[in-house]
Structure 1
Amino acid sequence: MTQPNLPLTGACLCGAVQLHVTAFPLLTLACHCRDCQKLAASAYSLTVMFPAEAVTATGELVLGGKHSEERKHYYCPTCLSFVLSRLKAAPERVNLRASLLDDLTWFTPFVEIMTEEKQPWAQVPVSHSYARFPTTAEELADLMDDYAKTIAPSAPGTDPA
């Protein structure tokens, strides 16, 4: 895996919502839940988790999709692109739809979740796989630490493995 060049930029389909990201991802993932399959109109959705303070979305965002007090999904009101999600339990993080970023040459999902709902033919090149979700905050923190090591630039003369 490679480290993205910062800042990252992106936009919704119509360009009414512009994205600007100033920090490296905390985690990349593919979600196989049926909700994400429906939201993405695909076998899974691709997500990049960032520190919330590093993500700026300019333009109007509206709440939509299947949401609750615990989980909010935000869309562009013009083209209805699914832009980002916020979790009440993790206000310090934002889950951004990977497909909206302009440059994805660095992107590979590191984790797949909700594989119990995975389409039988869907294959994702990941390092970690979960039938549902990581079960503890410590487990998620360990995943983020492992991911950070995979995108960290290596020192000259060292093996990045």
Structure 2
Amino acid sequence: MIQASDSAEGGCRCGRVRFRVVGPPLFTAACHCRGCQRMTGSAFSVSGGYPVEKFALIAGDTVIGGLHGATRHHFCSHCMSWLFTRPEGIDAFVNVRTTLLDVPPGEPPFLETCTAELLPWAQTGATHSFESYPPPDAFGPLVAEFTARRTGG
């Protein structure tokens, strides 16, 4: 069970589903893909990758939405807010919609993905940009850089 110390909570629009994250994310990101544009009704989705053991639902249940494939997009069954994603083939982290935190982050996302599909006016201020998704071997150095920037190291 996740403890409440050094944690943040968030939830869906109607409040029926609540979640908790403990500690900082491994990274923050904006995704410009057409799928995220369609699921958010906006120019991009904003998220934070949290270690799976640092994330917990604390109230309510979710349903799968979006494409019903190997990547699982979790939504509130009542208000249909898109809460988090469990990416296909990646069991180490949960991709949480950080705008749903009770206190959303004030800084820009660290990286942005799928910039080949970005709307030309949608600027995020991200430090790193990728035309598609970063290759798997890029995540270790990206996480290390994000952590160093966050901790001043």
TM-score norm. by structure 2 comes to: 0.91
Kindly, what percent of the aligned residue pairs are identical?
34
2:61 is equivalent to residue 60 of structure 1: yes
Structure 2: tracts of 5 or more residues without a match: none
What do the CA deviations read for 1:28-84 (whole angstroms, capped 9, x no partner)?
Answer: 000000000011110000011100111111311111112312x11010001100011
Please report the RMSD computed on the Cα atoms of aligned residues, expressed in angstroms. Answer: 1.5
Aligned residue for 2:8? 8
Q: Secondary structure at the match of 2:77?
A: coil
Give the Cα separation in 1 of the matches to 2:82 and 2:90. 19
TM-score norm. by structure 1 comes to: 0.87
Total equivalences in the alignment: 148
Question: How far off is 1:125 after superposition?
Answer: 0.5
Matching residue's letter, 2:150: I
Give the Cα separation in 1 of the matches to 2:60 and 2:105. 26
Aligned residue for 1:127? 127
Give the Cα separation in 2 of the matches to 1:105 and 1:97. 11
**Is 2:108–2:124's contact at 8 Å kept on the other side of the alignment?**
no
**Is 1:23–1:51's contact at 8 Å kept on the other side of the alignment?**
no
Give the Cα separation in 2 of the matches to 1:19 and 1:81. 13
Question: How far off is 1:89 after superposition?
Answer: 1.3
Give the Cα separation in 2 of the matches to 1:124 and 1:107. 10
2:141 is equivalent to residue 142 of structure 1: yes
2:102 is equivalent to residue 102 of structure 1: yes
Question: How far off is 1:143 after superposition?
Answer: 0.6
Aligned residue for 1:72? 72
Q: Secondary structure at the match of 2:141?
A: helix
Aligned residue for 1:157? none
Shift >6 Å, 4+ stretches = none
**Is 1:52–1:92's contact at 8 Å kept on the other side of the alignment?**
yes
Give the Cα separation in 2 of the matches to 1:138 and 1:43. 27
Q: After the TM superposition, which residues 42-53 of structure 1 pair with which residues of structure 2 at under 5 Å, given as runs?
A: 42-53=42-53
Q: Secondary structure at the match of 2:9?
A: strand
